[in-house]
Structure 1
């Protein structure tokens, strides 16, 4: 558990650097995100060796990954419309999130999200953190809840309520999928496709 706690601390530091008002103006968000993805993936594979069974490939699970990404995009599209009617700060905060891609090549971002960042987040948060906690005395449900809360918490440094809620919803969605399906490939596909859809292809704001 010490290794797990240490890895989570590394993630917290990376997310602080990327999102906090004290550090984010001085760094390139996407380069740090790429570094974070690589570091956390490396730690995941270093601290756990039993990964083969996590990547079960079959058409049903691939289809579930693609379909769930579409469903989650729909949830966010609807949520964006509703939150905009309820909260004056909603749309400006969503716009702040999208502003992070300003000045970046769309092709670069799409490739990074699809093949590096999205997969890396699932390998770390679901494949390493949630799985390790579920195999402890906590059990699968408590592990799911704790991982979801930590995943949301690391985004708190942005002081952006909409980003925090987006992280919470995504963490709950993919964490539940992983808990029930126990196929990391499914949530990896879902996360990667959703990232590209919501940030590049079909932005909701």
Structure 2
């Protein structure tokens, strides 16, 4: 019981920390966006690993999970491609808000940004948000509620950025990757999916 209470405190504290970090990264912007993002994700992953030593395990990597990761990343890219077009008719502020996110590309070269997205930011977000937050919420409230709560928290943290389009993007991604994690019970496909999607949408084929 005491151990669970301690873990609950770590989860709540880490969520508060994530909100503060997102505010610093997206609103205050005191330093290089990509370095801040990479360091922040590493901090959250370290907190998660402190709470759960065996959080990350790649012993039983299946070809199925690798394929799901690659294919799901491609599908999600085209979902966002279509969403980018459709949202232009619905939200007159869409371009300005998306441009504010893409403007961060000026703070690093493609090699640095790509490396951080592929090996730290994408994988780290999945380890923390799905592997730690969603997994623990699922244990406490059941898989379906845990999935819903984790998705809402993932999107909710982005509200601090005051960027509506970013919040919607986070909600869509949270629903998508959270569902894959719920079905596959493995971090492998969503780590691959998130890393490839990040790299594609920011480096290979930006949406604007």
TM-score between the two structures when normalised by the length of structure 1: 0.94
Listed one character per residue, the Cα deviations across residues 46-96 of structure 1 (whole Å, up to 9, x for unaligned) are 101233557631111100000000000000000000011222111221111
1:27 is displaced (CA, Å) by 2.4
Structure 1 unaligned blocks of 5 or more: none
Structure 1, 46-55 or 169-178: larger mean CA deviation? 46-55
Task: Say yes or no: does 1:159 pair with 2:166.
Answer: no
**Do the aligned partners of residues 94 and 52 (structure 1) sit closer, same or farther apart at CA in structure 2, a change above 3 Å counting?**
closer
1:178 is displaced (CA, Å) by 0.3
Describe how 1:30-69 pairs up with structure 2 within 5 A.
30-51=34-55, 56-69=60-73
* Contact 2:56–2:127 (Cα < 8 Å) also in 1: no
Matched residue, 1:187: 190
Distance 1:79 1:96 in 2: 17
The one of 60, 79, 87 equivalent to 1:75 is: 79
C-alpha RMSD over aligned residues: 1.3
Distance 2:56 2:76 in 1: 27
**Do the aligned partners of residues 53 and 31 (structure 1) sit closer, same or farther apart at CA in structure 2, a change above 3 Å counting?**
closer
Describe how 1:56-205 pairs up with structure 2 within 5 A.
56-136=60-140, 138-205=141-208
* Contact 2:134–2:150 (Cα < 8 Å) also in 1: yes
How many residues are treated as equivalent by the alignment?
201
TM-score between the two structures when normalised by the length of structure 2: 0.93
